Amino acid sequence: MESKEHTLSILVENTPGVLSQVSRLFSRKGYNIESIASGTTEDPKVTRITIVMNGDDATIAQLAAQLRKLLCVISVKVLSTEDAVQRELVLVKVKADTKDKRDEVLQIVSVFRASVVDISRETLTVSILGDENKACALMDLLADFGVLEVVRTGIIAIERGIRTIYEDTKESGEFNYGKNVL
Amino acid sequence: MKIRATQAIMECLLEQGVDTVFGYPGGTILNVYDELYRYQDKIHHILTAHEQGASHAADGYARSTGKVGVCFATSGPGATNLTTGIATAYMDSSPVVFLTCNVGESTLGKDAFQEVDITGIAMPITKATYLVRDPNDIPDIIREAFAVAAMGRPGPVLIDLLKNVTALDVMIDYEPLPKEEHQYYGRLADLRKRAGWDLTPPAPNSDDVDKLVELIAQSEKPMLICGGGVVRSRAHEEFRTLAEKLDAPVAITVMGGGGFPGAHPLTTGMLGMHGSRSSNIACDNCDLLIAVGCRFSDRVATEPATFAKQAKIVHIDIDRAEIDKNVKTDHHIIGDAKQVLQMVNDRIPAYQHPAWKEFVFSHRPAAPEESAALTPYQIIRTLRELCPQDSIVATDVGQHQMWSIQHFHFDYPGQLITSGGFGTMGFGLGAAMGAKLGNPDKTVLHMTGDGCFRMNGQELATVSHYDIPIITVIFNNHTLGMVHQWQNLLYGGRFSETDLNFAPDFVKLAEAYGVRGRRVTTRAELADTVREALDLGHAYVIECIIDTDETVRPMVSAGKPITEFLLE
């Protein structure tokens, strides 16, 4: 089956060991996580984890099913690129030790609507917010100057429109049933 | 009221109706054992020879009684010795609460003596793990742990208590709470609120049931699979009604043993790798396959792509994650087997499928011939004839396990105790002890091989000390039989490291533990010995010498379609 990129949004209880419980399911199946981002939600007791990974549809469905079984997992949604807005923050430290180079970098930065968050005599640190393509294009151009280091937050995603991760579908009802039935 | 934290542990166990626990003490769990000393008239503790034995005993107790088993162990090696037992329970969905203690808060994470991150280790082999750092959490966590272990798809749960949490001067608030009320308080109430779960299992989807009823009406060649879910939910009566109403052949998986009467005219016996000819052929030819509580493991659906290729596959399971995991299905119903089957039974008329049944049962093999030689079949036949029909059979893993499942007839859930998913050699003796303690009125047979018996045979010390009257039957072929069989068939007869012809003298070994033992080589000797063992009322070890080249038949190779028999 065709392997493609999937984004999984996972709502979990904010308790110790949750992240390792979630991530071990991926390693167990031998899948590599492309990116993982985690942070609290409007409810401080709840954390939302966004994971991007490659796999075929059946594998993703099985992974989502196994995730839903974990007691700490509240809900899981597989988001498609069409239905969801995706964002990632990337920080790039680029070498720019002359005025000309700095000017040139600043120009590129402004075209990309990125911003400079730190500047020194030798370097510029650029931050860019966007989807993966935008960050890649920027890094490609900055590569000419010498990229010293890059750090990415990992992709976060949210569904377009009124739909949310809290939706109770027939499927999630079935999962809660299988999970425990306390 | 204020009571000691350790006292709260015992009170919480009593709330759950626990009267028997298995375990092994050690440094960090000393406080808990000190409290147990005070509770010894209410909670009966069985001290095993090894933590692994305790884990299997708690598992065997749970499987045979349907209650939650309880097992104690100390930190570090005590805890890691449980892991094989935890994984065994996890793979076969057996409800067991494992309680371990860890080093104290001040030394946690500092590689202290006998420290190990057991909650981390046990994470992938439990339904949930709990690390208790605050003594006030004890009642809530124990109540949650028991609920999680028993409900939905059952399974093991691990609670790890830090030593300082159990210190004898730690007092906590404890209010007794009947088991039915647990869901309304503390963490369980939070969990329910959060997920909208309920203590009473929600009814299966009525439309899903109707769709199955429709599929049944259209089917001319229906077939049923009785899986472990039928046993765990004690849905044997509902399953039997369905089978009889459908007039359909029933294949029984290893875990499904006891879910459907083994001698019922509708059963085709085991299915899959060592399945009967009629089971496998029926599965290949049916037009509707209704699998109840089974997960289509690689030992059943040896080749998932061609499994039941002509059939619409309907999967009834409590665990949504099992649907389409191994075999792609056409329809599923999520729910407790007992409830789902009841709904289905209420909605279908009685059917007749004489031609289909005739086709399926024409592949039933003739019963093996009578012989005076001590063959595996003759051993089991003898036991079947002499032991009460409701005897519980606990097995180890390998050839003797397959023979036992093929030739014994199991009639009720909990009658067969076997490690089907994890295939744990050394499971049987501990499991048999647990089963006997949970069912003192029943005869308990422990079927084992010479390889398996060596793995946890030291539990004979426990059997002897507590005078647990189980009958151990060793199939001694002087080899690791199942591996030997594969080597013979698939590895050109290169018997790499499977020769066990240097075994200890099992009879003397049994005697050393204070258990009577006898070696037999003929059927007549065996019959005498079984009679003697049944009359004795204490543990007995019977060593049956069998031929090294005995095989489990039929056999389908791993990864091959189930009708491609390597051995008939």
B388 near B443, Cβ under 8 Å? yes
Distance CA B182, CA B147 (A): 9
Q: Which of B386, B431, B359, B407 is nearest to B533 (CA)?
A: B386
Q: Is the pLDDT of residue B260 over 60?
A: yes
Question: What's the number of CA atoms in the CB half-sphere (13 Å) around residue B59?
Answer: 37
Do B191 and A176 count as a contact with CB atoms less than 8 A apart?
Answer: no
DSSP string, chain A: ---EEEEEEEEEE--TTHHHHHHHHHHHTTPPEEEEEEEE-SSTTEEEEEEEEEE-HHHHHHHHHHHHHSTTEEEEEEEPTTTEEEEEEEEEEEE--SHHHHHHHHHHHHHTT-EEEEE-SSEEEEEEEE-HHHHHHHHHHHGGG-EEEEEE---EEEESTT--TT---HHHHHHHHHHT--
Residues of B in contact with A74 (CB under 8 A): 194-195
Helix (H) or strand (E) holding B128: strand B128-132
Q: What is the DSSP letter of B206?
A: H
Distance CA B415, CA B20 (A): 20
Is B147 an interface residue toward A (CB < 8 Å)? yes
Q: What is the pLDDT of residue A168?
A: 55
Is B233 an interface residue toward A (CB < 8 Å)? no
Which residue from A24, A66, A71 is facing B148, i.e. has the nearest CB?
A: A71
Q: What is the DSSP letter of B522?
A: B
Bridge pairing between strands B565-567 and B555-556 = antiparallel
ipTM greater than 0.85, yes or no? Answer: yes
Is B319 an interface residue toward A (CB < 8 Å)? yes
Q: Is the pLDDT of residue B196 over 60?
A: no
B422 near B299, Cβ under 8 Å? no
Bridge pairing between strands B312-317 and B331-334 = parallel
Q: Is the pLDDT of residue B190 over 90?
A: no
Higher per-residue confidence, B318 vs B14 = B14
Nearest CA in chain A to B203: A177
B262 near B410, Cβ under 8 Å? yes
Q: What is the pLDDT of residue B198?
A: 54
Distance CA A76, CA A155 (A): 16
User: What share of chain B has pLDDT > 90, as a percent?
Assistant: 91
Q: What is the mean pLDDT of chain B?
A: 95
Q: What is the DSSP letter of B254?
A: S
Q: Is the pLDDT of residue B485 over 60?
A: yes
Helix (H) or strand (E) holding B447: strand B444-449
B114 catalytically annotated: yes
Q: Is the pLDDT of residue B568 over 80?
A: yes
User: What share of chain B has pLDDT > 70, as a percent?
Assistant: 98
**Total residue count of chain B as it appears in this document:** 568
Distances (CA, A) of B266 to B177, B307, B314, B356, B501: 47, 21, 19, 12, 42
pLDDT in tens, B283-311: 999 999 999 999 999 999 999 999 999 99
Q: How does residue B510 score in pLDDT terms, banded at 50, 70 and 90?
A: very high
B378 catalytically annotated: no
Which residue from A21, A58, A178 is facing B320, i.e. has the nearest CB?
A: A178
Do A182 and B153 count as a contact with CB atoms less than 8 A apart?
Answer: no
Residues B411-435 have a mean pLDDT of 98
Q: What is the pLDDT of residue A153?
A: 93
Q: Is the pLDDT of residue A66 over 90?
A: no
Q: What is the DSSP letter of B514?
A: T
Which residue from A58, A61, A176 is facing B195, i.e. has the nearest CB?
A: A176
Distance CA B165, CA B468 (A): 35
pLDDT in tens, B319-370: 888 999 999 999 999 999 999 999 999 999 999 999 999 999 999 888 777 7
Q: Which residues contact B74 (CB under 8 A, 6 or more apart)?
A: B24, B25, B26, B27, B28, B29, B100, B101, B114
With H, G, I as helix, E, B as strand and everything else as coil, classify residue B312: strand
- In the set B113, B181, B385, B532, the catalytic residue is B113
Among A11-20, B205-214, B346-355, the range scoring the smallest mean pLDDT is A11-20
Q: What is the pLDDT of residue A68?
A: 83
Distance CA A72, CA A21 (A): 9
Do B148 and A180 count as a contact with CB atoms less than 8 A apart?
Answer: yes
Residues of B in contact with A71 (CB under 8 A): 127-128, 148, 191
Q: Which of B324, B316, B325, B323 is nearest to B204 (CA)?
A: B316
Distance CA B489, CA B487 (A): 6
Higher per-residue confidence, B199 vs B425 = B425
Is B161 an interface residue toward A (CB < 8 Å)? no
Q: Report the gap between the CA of B147 and the closest CA in chain A (Å).
A: 6
User: What share of chain A has pLDDT > 90, as a percent?
Assistant: 49
Q: Which residues of B229-243 are buried (b: 16+ CB within 10 A; e: fewer)?
A: bbbbbbbbebbbbbb
Q: How does residue B265 score in pLDDT terms, banded at 50, 70 and 90?
A: very high
Which residue from A17, A65, A182 is facing B147, i.e. has the nearest CB?
A: A182
Q: What is the pLDDT of residue B192?
A: 74
Q: What is the pLDDT of residue A75?
A: 84
pLDDT in tens, B1-26: 999 999 999 999 999 999 999 999 99
Q: Which residues contact A143 (CB under 8 A, 6 or more apart)?
A: none
Q: Which one of B123, B208, B211, B320 makes the best mutation probe of the A interface by having the most chain A beta carbons within 10 Å?
A: B320
- In the set B11, B15, B51, B144, the catalytic residue is B51
Most confident of A84-93, A159-168, B343-352: B343-352
Distance CA B172, CA B517 (A): 51
Residue B441 is encoded by which pair of tokens? 């009125």
With H, G, I as helix, E, B as strand and everything else as coil, classify residue B417: strand
pTM: 0.95
Q: Which class is domain A4-83+160-175?
A: alpha beta
Amino acid at B57: A
B163 catalytically annotated: yes
Q: Is the pLDDT of residue A113 over 50?
A: yes
Over its C-alpha atoms, chain B yields an Rg (Å, rounded) of: 24
Over its C-alpha atoms, chain A yields an Rg (Å, rounded) of: 20
pLDDT in tens, B74-104: 999 999 999 999 999 999 999 999 999 999 9
Q: Are A4-83+160-175 and A86-156 the same fold in CATH? A: yes
Bridge pairing between strands B516-520 and B540-545 = parallel
B248 near B353, Cβ under 8 Å? yes
Higher per-residue confidence, B35 vs B205 = B35
Say how many C-beta atoms besides its own lie within 10 A of residue A125's C-beta: 17
Q: Which of B378, B392, B359 is nearest to B268 (CA)?
A: B359
Chain B segment 38-57 residues within 8 A of A by beta carbon are: none
Do B202 and A177 count as a contact with CB atoms less than 8 A apart?
Answer: yes
Say how many C-beta atoms besides its own lie within 10 A of residue B546's C-beta: 24
Q: What is the mean pLDDT of chain A?
A: 87
Q: Report the gap between the CA of B199 and the closest CA in chain A (Å).
A: 5
Q: What is the pLDDT of residue B201?
A: 61
Q: Is the pLDDT of residue B373 over 90?
A: no
Is B123 an interface residue toward A (CB < 8 Å)? yes
Distance CA B12, CA A179 (A): 24
With H, G, I as helix, E, B as strand and everything else as coil, classify residue B568: coil
Q: What is the pLDDT of residue B252?
A: 97
Bridge pairing between strands A4-13 and A46-55 = antiparallel
Nearest CA in chain A to B196: A176
Query: Residue written as tokens 């009460």?
Result: B388
Q: Which of A155, A137, A123 is nearest to A35 (CA)?
A: A155
Q: Is the pLDDT of residue B39 over 50?
A: yes
Nearest CA in chain A to B147: A182
Residue B435 is encoded by which pair of tokens? 């089963």
Q: What is the pLDDT of residue B299?
A: 95
Distance CA A130, CA B413 (A): 58
Q: How does residue A174 score in pLDDT terms, banded at 50, 70 and 90?
A: low
B112 near B103, Cβ under 8 Å? yes
Residues B526-547 have a mean pLDDT of 97
- In the set B91, B255, B425, B482, the catalytic residue is B482
Q: Which of B98, B347, B129 is nearest to B217 (CA)?
A: B347
Instruction: Write the CATH number of the domain with boundaries A86-156.
Output: 3.30.70.1150
Domain boundaries, chain A: 4-83+160-175, 86-156
Distance CA B444, CA B433 (A): 8
